[in-house]
Amino acid sequence: MAKIKGAIVVDIDGCKGCGLCIEACPVEVISLSDNVNVKGYHYSYMTDPDACTGCSNCAIICPDGIITVYRIKI
């Protein structure tokens, strides 16, 4: 069976740490970082790259449009 692997790239300094992407992710691969970005927000990042399916839910819900999604069939 073909497997789908995805990845997200977060524009760290654009992130406001609202956490909507974490709620929207069906496979729970996104978390808020312990570190803060240039504006002082805890930014979101991909904790478990192997589980990401590239469904784009996080990018679609992101109010600031800072998530870029990549997907490949392997």
Partner 1 sequence: MAENAITTKELVKKENLVYQKTKLLTDDVMHYCPGCGHGTTHRLIAEIVEEMGIQSEIIGVAPVGCSVLMYNYMNFDMQEAAHGRAPAVATGIKRLLPEKYVFTYQGDGDLAAIGTGETIHACNRGENITMIFINNGIYGMTGGQMAPTTLIGMKSSTTPYGREVSLAGNPLNMTDLIVNLPGTYFVSRQSVHTPGNVRKAKKAIKKAFEYQSLNKGTCFVEVVSNCPAGWKMTPVESNKWLAENMLPFYPLGDLKVPEE
Q: Is 5 in the site for partner 1 (CB under 8 A)?
A: yes
Q: Check if the beta carbon of residue 8 is closer than 8 Å to that of residue 69.
A: yes
Q: Check if the beta carbon of residue 40 is closer than 8 Å to that of residue 32.
A: no
Closest by CA to 25, choosing from 67, 48, 51, 57, is 57
Q: Token pair of 4, please? A: 């789908």
Region 47-66 residues binding partner 1, contact defined as CB under 8 A: 49-50, 54, 56-57, 59-66
Q: Is 36 in the site for partner 1 (CB under 8 A)?
A: no
Q: Is 72 in the site for partner 1 (CB under 8 A)?
A: yes
Closer residue to partner 1 in complex, CB, 34/63: 63
Q: Is 44 in the site for partner 1 (CB under 8 A)?
A: no
Which parts of this chain interact with partner 1 (CB under 8 A)? 3, 5-7, 9, 14, 16-20, 22-24, 41, 46, 49-50, 54, 56-57, 59-72, 74
